[in-house]
Structure 1
């Protein structure tokens, strides 16, 4: 798989980090879900291999059941009292994963190689809230980082019927192709704080993959749904990479042609580059890398399809203008969006897709981005009290 050499060198440095929130250290003492051995915890486990048909892998995984890229996941139904997962020796030590039971809030834990983690017991929040009590429940796990993640060795269930259940895939699919801005680099939960995650998981009932990796360039990038979103070019626009406007333009056309050859029915959204903010006089102004070239790529595919009113019945490439969505304080110290910046981008893209393609926003309850419920607490009073 591409970038495997780079990823192998990087993943060991991703195991632990301090999360700063407005200059304050955010607590990250997540619960330890490790159990020493399966047999020592319970002797009546039914174990499934990673290739079991009941297991649905989301995003990018290789044939060794190793996760790649941004926010890959594993999802399955079960009828059992306990669920545990064993991770193989290719798992990044200490990698942070999010998991949840049915529609409960995400929970976080660190996993490491060659260990087994207990994710569901009868004391887990939301356990057996379904009717009837023995109905199928769902466990979903997502890897937060954007490189080498986890290796699934096997899944264990015990109690009740002690079996896994295949969860049908959604009928809509999306692909997002990008770089570190889309992968969520420097966001608090990386992939799970990114606008890519917020967009596609927020739409609901969508199978999606985020093919995004820090440092990726359009000029050498190759990747591939109902809707394909492309946000590439920021690294090409870096003068250190010496990518010319002509090379950028031609590579973008080539990439779209490849995507459309692979997915002829896919609608493609091209995101304009916001390229950070610079101070101009006494205010700030958004940059615009490869602005003309990006717009000309869209025109290349659509010019022959426009009628006299500027409408297009056969267009499949669309231009999403980011101007005005982000402000300079939506960009963090490492030149990437803050969590708030990612939420703003995701929200605008969701509405754009709703208005352009008529998609209904179906995610109506379970949280999408974890740890974004912020409020100020003065003297133990919440800010919903009128007299504080």
Structure 2
């Protein structure tokens, strides 16, 4: 597994040589969509990374380098071809995800200081679509975007609503098939169909502001106001002084979903419950000061499944403390509590104590329906889950 450096996060941190099993068999084409490396010439019109026509999704620093889970870009383009140039901070051979419109996600290895063509004649666009502007979406650090010399980019339309997901490895999709694209955080936010979304999530992140696993000296209460994540790659680049991130300068979130506690609870961190409680209150207060109209949803954090007799019983991490956080804000009316008990079963959790792809789907689906029923958000199209990836059963007999 190749770890992406600087420009890419865990969504694209695996190398295309990784094996994906499907129905007990090796998936024949686990990463469809290998792009072609090209050299730009006069037949291309190029836009650098600073133009308004490139819409950045998720957290990016001032140098257009992305760190957290599922950062990306979205552009609208005319014509039949599109290429992306990658910056010097891109890891060699890293895998990126991309798609056109709402078609399935495609995957391609790319490298630093290089340009790759992702859209060409093979897309087989009909005559009307050739003339129209089409949406191209990618999750990666870039140096620029190019289209045919007689075509152009256009500023893509933004949704009015926005969702922010804050968490650790569970929200980031660690160990899932397509990592962040398979995570409950991405599946929920993208599944809404009508909201911008940012995943401020990173495996190993603690909520409490102290050294977690002997790595970063800070937790999410501090990193929520930073452009880069707590990972070792970012610390190698920035040391203990990462670039600050002004959340108030971004589109305000309408809904903030938080699931944290697994890393705080786990050895060797073992944060006392009262410290965890106060850190949770501090984070929510910070969010509320920044986005006073946002709803905050606390998602409970499961622990281990324990075998009792002939059944498995789930445990929860910081259950009492998390409920107390909700009680602390109850009278103010903007904080809700979402109990994950009963949604996942022991076989929805892999041996690393992270959700399987099915586990992520279950949690995302329940969160979508919570948003529809409690917040009265209209889902478009009716809460699409696992959107944009191909899953199929290719065995006729069992």
> Same fold by TM-score, threshold 0.5 exceeded?
yes
Contact 1:330 1:341 in 2 (8 A): yes
Specify the alignment match of 2:393 in structure 1: 375
Summarize the alignment of residues 15-94 of structure 1 with structure 2, pairs less than 5 Å apart: 15-16=15-16, 17-21=18-22, 24-27=25-28, 28=30, 30-39=32-41, 43-94=42-93
Shift of the alpha carbon at 1:9? 12
Q: Which of 361, 381, 387 pairs up with 1:343?
A: 361
Q: Against the structure 1 CA distance between its residues 371 and 137, is the aligned structure 2 distance closer, same or farther, given a 3 Å change threshold? A: closer
* Change over 3 Å in CA distance of 1:10–1:83 after alignment to 2: closer
- Following superposition, the deviation at residue 95 of structure 1 comes to 2.1
Match of 2:108 in 1: 109
TM-score, scaled to structure 2: 0.82
Between the aligned partners of 2:169 and 2:153, the Cα distance in structure 1 is: 35
Q: Cα distance 1:331–1:218, how it changes in 2: closer, same or farther (>3 A)?
A: same
TM-score (norm 1): 0.84
Structure 2 counterpart of 1:268 = 296
In structure 2, list runs of 5 or more residues that go unmatched.
210-219, 225-246, 248-252
Counterpart of 2:276 (choices 217, 226, 248) is: 248
1:269/1:317 contact within 8 Å kept = yes
The residue number in structure 2 matching 1:361 is 379
2:167 and 2:202 in contact (8 A); partners too: yes
Instruction: Determine if the alignment matches structure 1 residue 213 to structure 2 residue 202.
Output: yes
Is 1:152 the counterpart of 2:152? The answer is no
1:76 touches 1:165 (CA, 8 Å); kept in 2?
A: yes
1:75-109 Cα deviation digits (max 9, x unpaired)? 01111221100111211222222211122222221
After superposition, residues 159-238 of structure 1 pair within 5 angstroms as: 161-220=150-209, 221-222=220-221, 223=224, 225-238=253-266
User: Shift of the alpha carbon at 1:22?
Assistant: 5.7
Q: Compare CA radii of gyration and give the structure with the larger one.
A: 1
CA distance in 2 between counterparts of 1:64 and 1:227 reads 28
Bigger mean CA offset, 327-336 vs 278-287: 278-287
Query: CA–CA distance in 1 between the matches of 2:273 and 2:204?
Result: 18
**2:349 — aligned with what?**
331
Cα distance, 1:63 vs. partner?
A: 1.6
Q: What is the SS of the residue equivalent to 1:230? A: strand
Contact 1:102–1:138 under 8 Å retained in 2: yes
Q: Which residue number in structure 1 is paired with residue 241 of structure 2?
A: none
User: Distance between the aligned counterparts of 1:365 and 1:283, measured in 2?
Assistant: 32
CA shift for structure 1 position 374: 2.5
Please tell me whether the aligned partners of residues 23 and 395 of structure 2 are also in contact (alpha carbons under 8 angstroms). Answer: no
Uncovered stretches (5+) of structure 1, i.e. residues with no partner: 143-149, 306-313, 384-388
Kindly state the Cα deviation for residue 368 of structure 1 after the two structures are TM-superposed: 4.3
The CA distance in 2 between the partners of 1:157 and 1:5, in whole Å, is: 27
- Cα distance in 1 for residues equivalent to 2:344 and 2:128: 41
Residue 316 (structure 2) pairs with residue 288 (structure 1)? yes
Name the Cα RMSD after superposition: 2.7
Q: Alpha-carbon deviation of 1:14?
A: 4.0
**1:67, CA displacement in angstroms?**
1.8
Contact 2:6–2:66 (Cα < 8 Å) also in 1: no
How many residues align? The count is 354
| CA deviations over 1:114-140 (Å, ceiling 9, x no partner) | 221111113215x24646x41211111
In 2 relative to 1, CA 129–74 (structure 1 residues): closer, same or farther, beyond 3 Å?
farther
Q: CA deviation at 1:18?
A: 2.9
